[in-house]
Chains A and B, each alone.
Chain A
Amino acid sequence: MPSNDSKQNFAALRSKILAQNGKEYWRSVEEFVDAPEFEEFVKQEYPEHAEVWDNSLSRRNFVKVMGASLALAGLSGCVYQPPEKIVPYVSQPENMLPGKPLFFATTFTLGGQAMGLLGKSYDGRPIKVEGNPDHPNSRGATDVRAQASLLDMYDPDRAKEITYRGHPRTWQIFSNEVRSALEQNRVDGGAGVRFLTQTVTSPTLVDQFRRLGTELPRAKWIQYEPVNNDNAMAGARMAFGSPVQTVYHIDRAEKILSLDADIFSSFNVGYINDYAKGRQYSEEKKQINRLYTVESKMSLTGAKADHRLAVKPSQVAEVARAIAVALGVPGATSTYAENAQWITAMARDLQASRGRSVVIAGDTASPTVHALAHAMNAALGNVGQTVSYIDPLSPNADRTQVEQLRELIAEIDAGIVKMLVILGGNPVYDTPADLKLSFDRIRDKVPLRIYLGTHQNETSEICHWHIPEKHYLEAWGDARAYDGTVSLMQPLISPIYDSHSIYEVVQLFFRENFDMRDYDIVKGFWQTQNFAMAGNPGTGAQPAAQTQPQQQAATAQGGNPQPAAAAAPSPNPQGDITQAGGSTMANATPARPGAGTAVTGNNFEDRWRSVVHLGLIPGTAGTPRTMSVNTAFLTQPQPAPQTAAGPLEINILPDPSVYDGRFNNNGWLQELPKPLTKVTWENIAYISPRTAERLGLNQDRKYNPYSGGPEGTSFINTRGGNLHSDLVTLTYQGESIKKQVPVWILPGQPDDVITIFMGYGRWRSGKVGENLGYNAFDVMRSDAMNHGVGDIRAIGEQVNVASTQTHFNMENRDLLRRVDVEQFNANPNMGHQEDFYDKSMYPYQQHQEVYNNNHKWAMTIDINNCVGCNACVVACQAENNIPVVGKEQIERSREMHWLRIDAYYKGTDINNPEGPAFQPILCQQCEQAPCEVVCPVHATVHSADGLNDMVYNRCVGTRYCSNNCPYKVRRFNFFLYQDWETPQFKLMRNPEVTVRSRGVMEKCTFCVQRIAAARIESQKDGRAVQDGEVVTACQAACPTNVFSFGDWHDQNSQIAKAKKDPRNYVLLNELNTQPRVTYMAGLKNQNKEMPDYNPTQWGGKTGEQHNAEAQPGIRGEESH
């Protein structure tokens, strides 16, 4: 029997391969395919393929083989998990229940900084990341890049095998060759060996390099990435004489001054969360913080600021000096005369909150500004209160990264470097133009170049060896959070491809024990550290708020998102690692009899397991240092501003989505609308309306020819203006960007300042991101990393820019409300809306009865807290298998995001607008849904618990529902947008959410799969679903608690409380759709003394003030 034969053959084949590699039945596709048995097997199984079988790994073949390998791997029992013991975060009686997700704590890093995450794993496949509630830089929330990093792991364009000059090799060969090359370098102490990494905060890696330094004393380790904290470190050296990491406690600050600091776009979820805590408004807490911003661009922080001053980049330092003078910083002098009233009034306000204010300087601000900020914080008595200083997170902070890079380039040019090991990053792409690590530069100078990176990119192209790097969800590791807390990375899946982590590669350079797995390296390092000790003391004034605030915060706010199914045990608030570990370990590892006894045991294994379980090592936050400001820097001469290179000032920022280009091949991030402009798939250059008019850019169709609405300006018109952007040649510091740059008129941008973005113009990245946009690194200079001078010149051509929102004016409608907090306090009922629910001609009471007998799921969205960071949008995309449609489809207005963030400016003067303010819009789950009655086939129907459900199977795609939806939240699959073929994406998808096909309407359903999961859990326990048990994906990701979700019937719930809040209002209330989603008006906390004080409210109809007896939210109770 042939079938029997093939079965036996297959069994033999499998056992053979398993025997070869231990549990790793295949490490590389090449290895797998090379096995003669495999070829034989294929020939027998698929004789028609035998002739054409081609061993070269063309892409087509790769996909075939991938399919086969995955199928074969599946046969051996769905084992994707790494062989080492990893510890699930949740308390599960058994580690794995098929169909039940598990959560594992891990860590995502960006710029060296750690963000603690919980990876959600289905049957060994990570499908979503959530924030780690215990982590200081997450607190249960995430940012866009952490959410989208999941897609990076499954990226089919990832490097899949070790290559030498493009030819596949094995780890063994690589290891032999690199070690023999190293032996030659050992003779001179490694004088020719250079390691180039990105910013490193990992204690293990730092220790590896330290130890390597003893073996190779003359080898050097360089850290470089284009977005760094050089200026902060240099500023700290100016002010204190030594570099320190500044840690802000924004939650304790009443007044915040940002000096070109974009708090909300940066990676720091912890700070955003702190800001939101201070901003939170409730009946009990009517004092909210006030945010002043001085900035040289338009940023999210500026959009959110209560008072904003837009100046040129070169003026930021001058303004900072003037503020320092006004604050009475000893020794400060200023010649800056503009905006005097703004500065004095603001300074007076800061002084009124001594010790409860904070001055924050941005990473792009010059060192002087940082030093001034330190001096101001000292003068305001903020140090120790809202500001503390800890040791720098990464070593070698005495020298800036640019200096280190400059030295490396000099050494390369001098021919000193014999062996360049680039560990991560993409320096060929992202080094400044004058220090470009280009092929021409190193071709003849560096004889051996090794690159560790996830993708085949610009850098891998010019290196001999390319080692695929493990994604963080596949690797062990550690890193520090902004406050120094050590966070641990554990893999959720064994590496999809033949990849290695940075620890493993560095380990190769040791004389002994060179072939170690990252697990052994990281664990081995921590074995040498007595980290349990760290947990006991060290909890001074500062870590008290830093390392254990989550529990208080979580309870106070009704549970900052814990993943629904995770019921994660809370760590011990004492921060005692053994205690915390013991209590959770008992649940996590029932196989250990008497795990409780481990509490007393001080053995390493127990502690290790508990910290891996927790995802961080408690008590490792940096100890506050006492620093004293030396104001000598104030008298140092200022470098004269360069003006020769051009009439305009230009600043270079990391892209809000793809950052410095490392996420360039990530479709979710490419398609994510940039927060301020809603542009997707490319980078543009911001220009102020006045400058654009002066230079005649984007003027052929003016931005307000057909404005509509009484306010007379549309800011950016539907057709014309920005959508057909003029292309310009942009010159920066004397050099021009190779590609033409589309300009985008952005109200709020300072005049005569152009802002450009990194991250695009990649010439070797992948199918998604290649050749999109322009490359800012063409012109970036090592002496002008963040801003400089230049010029733009129109070339007379236009290009279409894909933006998901084209009209940024509310047209005086009552959509997004933002009111002055004082006025609101004086008259809390100012926003009262009449409830028309009994005005319907339809028998609404019958519906009400059904709703009363079921859960009443509802949501409120607090505009006051929303900073527009977009984390919810990507979280929704990841959770709900939302496809990416591409630039062309976005241009045709067919984006698929279920959740979008609307941005609206306010004001009639385009040159001096307020805002924009942000309003997340998702399906409003109307009780009287207009979409439902018009669907001819019952494809969208109401559930008893009030959800507006989509029956994808039933939908025939008449699209009437979308036409009748006043909120325009429905999305249609005009084409087959989902990728049904790529096997990687099949692994990535959330198995609980339908993958939609062509011709079907889709939309938000309040994460109905999470509601169902919670309902099943509660029914098993025979109880009701508790408040906070269902957490929607957007809510979980949000760093600022914008979303409240729950059962409206539950009178003690957070949602019921929010619905009673007088700020609560219904969007388009007059349509009487009775949405379950309501909004809470945003607040502006303006200073009356400021010259730009403007208390007129946004949205809402002024003068329509009621002494309402009933609030819109109370209706639910009345009808009980």
Chain B
Amino acid sequence: MHRRLVPPMVEGDHTFATVTDKISDVTLKKRTPFGWFIGFGISFMVAQLLLFTVVWLLINGIGIWGNNHPVMWAFDIINFVWWIGIGHAGTLISAILLLLNQKWRTSINRFAEAMTLFAVACAAMFPLLHTGRPWLAAYWLFPYPNTMGIWPQFRSPLIWDVFAVSTYATVSALFWYVGLIPDFATLRDRAKNKAFKFVYAILSWGWRGSARHWHRYELAYLILAGLSTPLVLSVHSIVSFDFAVSQLPGWHATIFPPYFVAGAIFAGFAMVLILCIPLRHWYNMKDFITDTHLVNMGKVMLATGLIVVYGYAMEGFFGWYSAAEYEWFMIHNRVWTGPYWWAYWLLLLCNGLSIQLLWFKRFRESEFWLFLISVVVSIGMWLERFVIIVTSLNRDFLPSSWAMYSPRVFDWTMFIGTIGFFFTLLFLFVRFVPIISIFEVRTLLPQANVHGHQQDFEENVNEVEYTYDRTDPPNPEPAK
């Protein structure tokens, strides 16, 4: 094997078999690393905070949080929007990049999608639990036929949310699962443990890898990708309507949908980086999640981050340009004169300034810096929702009603608890499901490119190498 032929998407000397071995062994053969138990244990413990908080919440009411009058929404909705935003990268990577034929998506899509699902699971908790009477909200928000003839109010963005988020969760889950079926079959075939074999057999729905199966699979996957694509744009647009539809200065802005979607992708990629950088180390997956992937993700972050910064600028501009007293006051209050000015500047620092490093290759290629920037961006995106929600609500039209908001213990335990819950699910995922799509990575191997596809591939590779890996030593002669 010559280096020249190794596509940058898969590094090292891999054949179909080695790819399959390497990925499936994580689940089937290798001893579960000790680190996994530590990580899972900590996450699971932290997740208990969530359980405890939710129980306490249901017993006492949402008064245990810091929400007050006029800041009726606070951590609950901040966290909701934050998680939903994070949940965007998975589908974007799976669907939009698939449709755009971006091959580099292949090795990260699996856990990006998983992350999406888990983030949506965390997010979905908040809209329900933040209501005063969740036991009623759980079904009154759905348009179920009832004898009273009472329907939800379809003019309310919260109802749109219900549809948007539940649709998104459903399609994402299906998409993820359909993509997993061939890999489950692989695991089933390789599993020695009877129980594992049985479970994987169930999960793989009798997949035999026949041409017909593959045909159906490709179709289904493409359809789901097509379905997911608009969802990527719609979900966060609709979440942004929760704010944009209101008349509150700071919420009532036409720029919100694109600005929120960009912010979501921004936050999502940050989270994918946060997850995949340690993952490729711990499971020695640098062959599959290559530096190229990291660099590409860094570029996407830079692009979407710049859109978000543009959104900030436009909010300020509209505040001034509207000549509306309350809008302009809101900007003043948010940026300079209000009590939460620090949150805004911190947000600019996290989301605006930190990503400027990504213009430079040195930072883009450094795992350490990418990880750091991603963490900072995640904090920044959380702060962005804090700024939008809390600083807009805490000082609005009538100064007599102005009041400060500060989170209470249970706000933090709920938030941190969802993070624990998220990582608990991720650790389970890493242990029991192939973290990288086996069969798709195999398609990246040169052996997969038969019937003249090789040519396309090489062009691709050359192009990628040309645009990116200019520091590599000259390649040896291609083997023919």
Contacts and interface: CB of A to CB of B under 8 A. Distances in A.
A812 to B, nearest CB: 9
A892 B65 CA distance: 10
Contacts of B224: none
A719 B69 contact: no
B217 interface: no
B293 interface: no
Interface stretch (B29-37, B134-142, B268-276, B370-378): B134-142
A973 interface: yes
Contacts of B61: 973-976, 998-999
Interface stretch (B106-114, B176-184, B389-397, B419-427): B389-397
A973 B132 contact: yes
Given A708-B338, A893-B69, A962-B69, A937 B399 contact: no
A836 interface: no
A228 B155 CA distance: 60
B196 interface: no
B69 A960 contact: no
Interface stretch (A389-397, A627-635, A754-762, A964-972): A964-972
Interface stretch (B93-101, B157-165, B438-446): B157-165
Contact of A971 (B69, B339, B399): B69
Given A807-B399, A813-B399, A902-B400, A999 B133 contact: yes
Given A719-B339, A963-B393, A976-B61, A936 B248 contact: no
Contacts of B245: 933-934
A957 B246 CA distance: 17
B400 A921 contact: yes
A59 B403 CA distance: 39
B454 interface: no
A930 B400 contact: no
B246 A1001 contact: no
A936 B165 CA distance: 15
Interface string B19-51: 000000000000000000000000000000000
A956 B132 contact: yes
A964 B403 contact: no
A449 B288 CA distance: 93
Contacts of B341: 706
Given A956-B133, A957-B132, A933 B156 contact: yes
A1000 B131 CA distance: 9
Interface in B368-415: 393-404
A938 B152 contact: yes
B393 to A, nearest CB: 6
B400 A964 contact: no
A967 B152 CA distance: 25
A959 interface: yes
Given A708-B329, A936-B153, A958-B131, A893 B68 contact: yes
B137 A957 contact: yes
Interface string A473-488: 0000000000000000
A998 B132 contact: yes
A631 to B, nearest CB: 48
A50 B137 CA distance: 44
Contacts of A957: 62, 131-133, 137
Contacts of B399: 807-811, 813, 815, 904
A445 B242 CA distance: 73
Interface in A974-1013: 974-976, 998-1001
A968 B132 contact: no
A958 B158 contact: yes
A338 to B, nearest CB: 35
Most chain B beta-carbon contacts within 10 A, residue among A889, A957, A976 = A957
Contact of B400 (A807, A935, A999): A807
B398 A921 contact: yes
A14 interface: no
B53 interface: no
Nearest to B130: A958
A934 B157 contact: yes
A933 B156 CA distance: 6
Contacts of A904: 399-400
B81 to A, nearest CB: 14
Contacts, number: 182
B62 A974 contact: yes
A806 B403 contact: yes
Nearest to B140: A937
B63 interface: yes
A567 to B, nearest CB: 37
A787 B63 CA distance: 43
B150 interface: yes
A1001 B61 CA distance: 13
A813 B325 contact: yes
A903 interface: yes
B69 A938 contact: no
Interface residues of A, number: 60
A896 B162 CA distance: 30
Contacts of A900: 400
B346 interface: no
Contacts of B393: 963
A707 interface: yes
Contacts of A1068: 397
Nearest to B66: A892
Interface string A896-925: 000010111000000000000001010000
A956 B397 contact: no
A955 B402 contact: no
Contact of A975 (B60, B153, B157): B60
B247 A806 contact: no
B270 to A, nearest CB: 28
Interface in B305-364: 324-325, 329, 332-333, 337-339, 341
B82 to A, nearest CB: 18
Nearest to A814: B325
Contact of A999 (B68, B73, B131, B325): B131
A225 interface: no
B246 A718 contact: no
Contact of B137 (A810, A921, A958): A958
Contacts of B136: 956
Contacts of A960: 72-73, 156, 158, 242, 246
B153 A706 contact: no
B341 to A, nearest CB: 7
A480 to B, nearest CB: 40
Contacts of A707: 337
Given A708-B332, A936-B162, A1000-B133, A719 B157 contact: no
B240 interface: no
A1071 interface: yes
Given A809-B399, A902-B400, A956-B141, A937 B153 contact: yes
A709 interface: yes
Contacts of A170: none
A960 B61 CA distance: 17
Nearest to A805: B400
A968 B141 contact: no
Contacts of B229: none
A702 interface: no
A894 interface: yes
Contacts of B73: 959-960, 963
A956 B141 CA distance: 9
A1029 interface: no
A895 interface: yes
13 contacts: A707-B337, A805-B401, A808-B399, A956-B132, A956-B136, A956-B141, A962-B72, A963-B248, A968-B69, A972-B132, A975-B61, A975-B63, A976-B61
Given A892-B68, A933-B156, A972-B132, 13 more contacts: A807-B400, A813-B325, A894-B69, A904-B400, A934-B155, A956-B137, A957-B137, A962-B72, A964-B248, A966-B248, A972-B72, A974-B61, A1071-B247
Interface of A: 706-709, 718-719, 805-811, 813, 815, 889, 892-895, 900, 902-904, 919, 921, 930, 933-938, 954-960, 962-964, 966-968, 970-976, 998-1001, 1068, 1070-1071
